[in-house]
Structure 1
Amino acid sequence: MKINKWMYVIRLHTLCLSFSGITLSFLISKSRVYVNLITYLLSLLTALSLQILSNISNYYGDNIKILYAKYNNLDRKINSNGLISLKQIINAIKLFSLLSFLFGLILIINSIDFLKNFYIFFLYFLGILICIYSSINYSIGHNPYGYRRLGDLFVMIFFGIVSINGSYFLYTTRLSLDIFLLSLSIGFMNVAVLNINNIRDIETDLKHNKLTIANLLGNQYAKIYHIILIILSVIIGIIFIIMNNKNYFYHCILFTLIILLLIDHINCMLKITNIQYFNLELKKLIVIIVLYTIIIGFGCFL
């Protein structure tokens, strides 16, 4: 069924990453000030649209271009296999570019007074355009940044710093050091998700001139890099809990659960020899990230 093909293209399971980041900053904000639910929903729709746009664009960049280089008549091959056509992929990129822009524009109009805060309004408007451009150009274009070992940096920026701090400011109209630190923690976790994908694809990426941190380091050192990302995330998360010095018992019990899950994940990563098992660990880490954000977010209410 074509719906299953689209679920694969948009990578449905990865959308939890956008949901968890936006929801985490919402829960923390709501524990501190009144937060308009509409702002949260619009932030969520914008983030999800941007991630779907990024995933579809990445599918196009990593798969369609490779197939066109291999086959002279790709459209006939795609249609004969019941796959999604090139035209449909391009239309989907256009659709989610438009949705990302519209949701983002409605979000800032709803959240920011244009006359009183023109510069902030303009900054967020410019940010929307940059996010759309970056979502598309991860793997599309003459010189996509995802092919120049910049993917990890951009994931840290957009899934960590921008997602958490950007939405937190819209919820509260303020910035906070502890939220910035937490955004780094979430960012490192998201980079670790990308790193699993890149370790799995080391050989394939090198064949198609896609340069990543993983194929720079090689399989063994890329796994060490993975462990460092997770350790940094956990340490910064603990610092956030200490800075918000309440509910130590709640956080200690549940944060210990997260650490145990991460230890199991790291142990499995180190033992993997068959690349097929990387997909399982990628999904496992996404679940851990969701649990991590729920524990931190709801812990602020207790």
Structure 2
Amino acid sequence: MRLKYWFCAVRSQTLLLSFSGITLSYLISISKGYGDFYTYLLCIITSIFLQVLANFSNDYGDSIKGVDNYQRIGPKRTIQSGLISIFAMKKAINILSILSFCSGLLLIYRSIELNNFFFFFFYFIGIFVCIYSSIKYSVGPYPYGYLGMGDLSVFIFFGLVSVGGSYFLYTKVFSLDIFLLSLSIGLLSLSVLNINNMRDIKNDYKNGKYTVAGILGIKYAKLYHIFSIIISIVLGIFFNILNDYKNIYKWLFFILNIPFFIRHLKRIISIENPECFNSELKRLIHLTFLYSMSIGIGAQIK
């Protein structure tokens, strides 16, 4: 029964976002003659540790700050519900921090030669930044997730780092097309967070958690959401143009996503009951995964 509570705290559906970006960059690297499965596997393991660390930290931070309360519309958190103690969660956060560091260190040790000191040091420092950011989103006297910087954080870590950072580990190459694609995935991940923040906009603001959605208000938060997704799709189009734009199959895989995104945006616009955001949040996570895999699989077809 206790294991069931921890699985709830993991919030397994959010792990798809980490999986999407890293797998997408791996599939594209394979299509270009690169790619190492063990590096990919270590990327996945490290990202999962970091994502679970962030989720545990959010559960802990939001609970002790009073944001998780009976007025919260989202799924009940484990500390708030009394399923897991504060002490046990703090211990789990420490364990996940160690696991994230060890996994990340093994990842860069395998994928970057020690004599390439600059990149090795850059990624080594990056491990600490990722761990620190995962915790400090909600924990500490000045959590940046409470200061309107959560969207930027998600954009960077689920886009630039997840796609661009892992792609470099596979290929040792930086490229414009991957940069555009990382922006595209980052915007979709940001949009997932925005749905979460629109859902709890009143309770968050009331309890001192100032998200972008809370600052904008629900009307403009919806416009922000629409533009984020539209720009993401446009960036995906530019990626395809830069990568074998004559390949009709690649375009077919890409275009298949458009009707789903249009339907999603229509629902977002029409939502009046905040509880309805829950289903759209799950739907957008799945759409982000579908979008990533369609681009990645399309890149395999020559």
Aligned pairs for 1:1-302 (under 5 A) are: 1-66=1-66, 83-114=83-114, 116-246=115-245, 248-302=247-301
Aligned partners of 2:253 and 2:295 also within 8 Å: no
Between 80-89 and 193-202, report the one with greater CA deviation: 80-89
Aligned partners of 1:178 and 1:243 also within 8 Å: yes
Query: Are residues 11 and 45 of structure 1, via their aligned partners in 2, closer, same or farther at CA, if it must alter by over 3 Å?
Result: same
Counterpart AA for 1:53: L
Q: Which segments of 5 or more consecutive residues in structure 1 lack a partner in the other structure?
A: 71-77
1:67-96 per-residue CA deviation (whole Å, 9 max, x = no partner) reads 8999xxxxxxx9996511111111110111
Query: Are residues 298 and 247 of structure 1, via their aligned partners in 2, closer, same or farther at CA, if it must alter by over 3 Å?
Result: farther
How high is the TM-score relative to the length of structure 1?
Answer: 0.93
Query: Are residues 62 and 82 of structure 1, via their aligned partners in 2, closer, same or farther at CA, if it must alter by over 3 Å?
Result: closer
Please give the alpha-carbon distance, in whole angstroms, between the structure 1 residues aligned to 2:8 and 2:92: 14
Counterpart AA for 1:24: L
Aligned partners of 1:2 and 1:82 also within 8 Å: no
1:124-169 per-residue CA deviation (whole Å, 9 max, x = no partner) reads 0000000000000001001010000000111111110011111111
Aligned partners of 1:150 and 1:212 also within 8 Å: yes
1:183-237 per-residue CA deviation (whole Å, 9 max, x = no partner) reads 0000000000000000001111012100011011111110010000000000000
- Aligned residue pair count: 294
Please give the alpha-carbon distance, in whole angstroms, between the structure 2 residues aligned to 1:274 and 1:14: 23
Aligned partners of 1:247 and 1:299 also within 8 Å: no
1:254-283 per-residue CA deviation (whole Å, 9 max, x = no partner) reads 322211000110111111111111110000
Q: Which residue of 1 aligns with 2:73?
A: none
Please give the alpha-carbon distance, in whole angstroms, between the structure 2 residues aligned to 1:197 and 1:176: 32
Identity over aligned pairs, percent: 51
Aligned partners of 2:63 and 2:69 also within 8 Å: no
Please give the alpha-carbon distance, in whole angstroms, between the structure 1 residues aligned to 2:172 and 2:139: 35
Determine which structure has the larger helix proportion and give its number.
1
Please give the alpha-carbon distance, in whole angstroms, between the structure 2 residues aligned to 1:30 and 1:253: 20
What is the aligned-residue RMSD (CA, Å)?
1.9
Residue 246 of structure 1 and its aligned partner are, at CA, apart by 4.3
Please give the alpha-carbon distance, in whole angstroms, between the structure 2 residues aligned to 1:282 and 1:205: 17
Query: Are residues 48 and 247 of structure 1, via their aligned partners in 2, closer, same or farther at CA, if it must alter by over 3 Å?
Result: farther
Q: Which residue of 1 aligns with 2:75?
A: none
Please give the alpha-carbon distance, in whole angstroms, between the structure 2 residues aligned to 1:197 and 1:80: 18
Please give the alpha-carbon distance, in whole angstroms, between the structure 2 residues aligned to 1:68 and 1:239: 41
1:93-137 per-residue CA deviation (whole Å, 9 max, x = no partner) reads 0111011000000001111111x2011111100000000000000
Q: Which residue of 2 aligns with 1:74?
A: none
Please give the alpha-carbon distance, in whole angstroms, between the structure 2 residues aligned to 1:229 and 1:169: 25
Please give the alpha-carbon distance, in whole angstroms, between the structure 2 residues aligned to 1:32 and 1:21: 17
Query: Are residues 135 and 65 of structure 1, via their aligned partners in 2, closer, same or farther at CA, if it must alter by over 3 Å?
Result: same
Aligned partners of 1:22 and 1:163 also within 8 Å: yes
Q: Which segments of 5 or more consecutive residues in structure 2 lack a partner in the other structure?
A: 71-77
1:17-62 per-residue CA deviation (whole Å, 9 max, x = no partner) reads 0001110000000111232211000011111111110111011111
